[in-house]
Structure 1
Amino acid sequence: MSGFKPVSHRHDDALSRVSWETFEHLVAGHYRGAGFRVEHVGTGGAGTSRTDGGIDLKLFRDQEIILVQCKHWNCWKVPHNDVHQLIGVMHTAGATGAIVVTSGEFTTAAIEAAAKFRHIRLIDGKAIRAMLGPVEEPTMPHASLDDMPSWIRETRRARASRTNRSPVIAAVGAVVTMAVALAVLYSYYIREIHVAQVEALRATMGRAVTSQRPMNTINGRPAIVHDTPMTKTDIAAWEAKNAESMRIIEKTTPSLPP
């Protein structure tokens, strides 16, 4: 936005909302009504293209040839560069005069530049509204970028070039995108398998540890662990052995004095 200044007053009316083509046609209609033969050479003219230094209208009357440049700018002031360019185009075309019309405002530098050349006339937003009178409200408000500052036009051209890429470039881009996506998915798949393997190993080790019964010890020596419950026969045999052991202890142990 360097080099462009915002307007002091932004108009909010029907003229500010018409398209740039409509703005050009409104200006052309005004000059036709003033007795000029109008040749529409700008982008708003049917079958024409902007190849004449930004000139939109050529006005013919008697010996007069006047070039008109329309600037449908509502946000930014028209700078002095446009005035200087118009001077060069005017001499090249052999015109007798030139007019710059804007729906907004001119910078002070532009006004001072035009004042140095009596064949250049500037018409700002207030003047053109007085010239055109009431303008019909457009059915669909239109915001054009074609007559906006160059930095906006360059942005639009860049976007258009990206949109209109060749099929080969688009196909290569699609293949690269797919390859990257597959690589990411493969990496994710491998990581998930590794995590599953680790979790399975941990679960197996946990079951192995819990299945091992702790060994009971008596004075540091392993004690008998019965994996299965004792039967009545085993209990009777154990009681018999215990009774026999007690009798042996009684016989071999001296009697204590009363």
Structure 2
Amino acid sequence: MTTGFKPVDFRHDDALTRVSWDAFECLIADHYRDLGYEVLHTGTGAGTNRTDGGIDLKLLREQEIIVIQCKHWNCWKVPHNDVHQLIGVMHTAGATSAIVITSGEFTNAAIEAAAKFRHIRLIDGKAVRAMLGPIAEPRMPHATIDGMPSWQNQARRPRPAKSNRTPLVAAAGAIATMAVALSMLYSYYIREIHEAQLAALRVTVARAAMQVVQARTTPASLPALASQKPMSSLNGHPAILHDVPVNKADIAAWEKQNAESMRILEKTTPPLP
């Protein structure tokens, strides 16, 4: 924001307002060239200069040397400092007169300062529009900060767009994602544990049912036969010896009881989720 400047009383809204700073200088140069002046474009609007030294245009015709300072300002009034600066530049350049041209307005102090020097002329926005006449609308309207050449605006790189997501929203999204992942992981492990528990339960019930069937179907002669068999041992202790039926009738009874036990097991064991 430009500080210490006075806003204009009336802000124009037309094609001249929307042209760029360098285009404004070129319009002024073309106007005086049509009047028969040799125009030296020394300002930044020429495209090759980065500083103007207080002079944008120099007009030459016979014995005349006129220096011009262009101010494409539409928001702020041109102050008296610019008038005094051009007076000093005029003497340094050996000019016979000087002109300050603005597309906006001058402050009262600037007007009073110019009135004290008969070789200084001020041309404000109304006068320059009458001088140039109608101009074409620019293809791309140029929005400039008053007092800033267009080449400076072009040199600026656009800032990256900011994300609409605030840090709080981003953190909430990350927490929600983590919660979903943990929930899925928890469900997976719970299912695995539940299946392992059911499998162990089936084995336990099957062993118990088999022991019941063996107790009911083993004939009285089997213990004697089992006692005659050598007892296997594990670490010095008797190992478990599983007796099995020794004839067809016992085998049939054993299979029947075993099938019944398995049906009971299937009815009492809850299905996996």
Q: TM-score, normalised by structure 2?
A: 0.53
CA drift at 1:25: 1.4
User: 1:85-124, aligned counterparts within 5 Å?
Assistant: 85-124=85-124
Summarize the Cα distance change of 1:39–1:156 in structure 2 as closer, same or farther, 3 Å threshold. Answer: closer
Could you tell me which amino acid in structure 1 is paired with residue 139 of structure 2? M
The answer to whether the aligner puts 1:8 opposite 2:24 as a matched pair is: no
**Aligned partners of 1:83 and 1:28: how far apart in 2?**
20
Could you tell me which amino acid in structure 1 is paired with residue 135 of structure 2? E
CA contact (8 A) 2:72 2:147 kept: no
Q: Secondary structure in 2 aligned to 1:126?
A: helix
Could you tell me which amino acid in structure 2 is paired with residue 142 of structure 1? P
The answer to whether the aligner puts 1:20 opposite 2:18 as a matched pair is: no
CA contact (8 A) 1:102 1:123 kept: yes
CA contact (8 A) 1:69 1:100 kept: yes
**Aligned partners of 1:15 and 1:116: how far apart in 2?**
30
CA contact (8 A) 1:101 1:123 kept: yes
For each residue in 1:82-117, what CA deviation from the matched residue of structure 2 results, as whole angstroms up to 9, or x when unmatched? Answer: 111111111111111110111111111111111111
CA contact (8 A) 1:78 1:107 kept: yes
Could you tell me which amino acid in structure 2 is paired with residue 117 of structure 1? F
Equivalent residue number for residue 80 of structure 1:
80
CA contact (8 A) 1:18 1:137 kept: no
Equivalent residue number for residue 231 of structure 1:
none
For each residue in 1:45-70, what CA deviation from the matched residue of structure 2 results, as whole angstroms up to 9, or x when unmatched? Answer: 2x530434131110011111000111
**Aligned partners of 2:153 and 2:36: how far apart in 1?**
40
**Aligned partners of 2:93 and 2:12: how far apart in 1?**
33
Summarize the Cα distance change of 1:144–1:88 in structure 2 as closer, same or farther, 3 Å threshold. Answer: farther
Aligned residues: 192
Equivalent residue number for residue 137 of structure 1:
136
CA contact (8 A) 2:44 2:51 kept: no
**Residue 146 (structure 2) aligned to one of 148, 159, 184:** 148
RMSD: 4.3
Could you tell me which amino acid in structure 1 is paired with residue 66 of structure 2? I
**Aligned partners of 1:148 and 1:159: how far apart in 2?**
19
Moved more, 16-25 or 1-10: 1-10
Summarize the Cα distance change of 1:50–1:82 in structure 2 as closer, same or farther, 3 Å threshold. Answer: farther
Structure 2 portions without partners, runs of 5+ = 161-170, 183-273
Q: Percent identity?
A: 67
Could you tell me which amino acid in structure 1 is paired with residue 88 of structure 2? G
**Aligned partners of 1:38 and 1:97: how far apart in 2?**
15
Q: Secondary structure in 2 aligned to 1:9?
A: coil
Could you tell me which amino acid in structure 2 is paired with residue 148 of structure 1? D
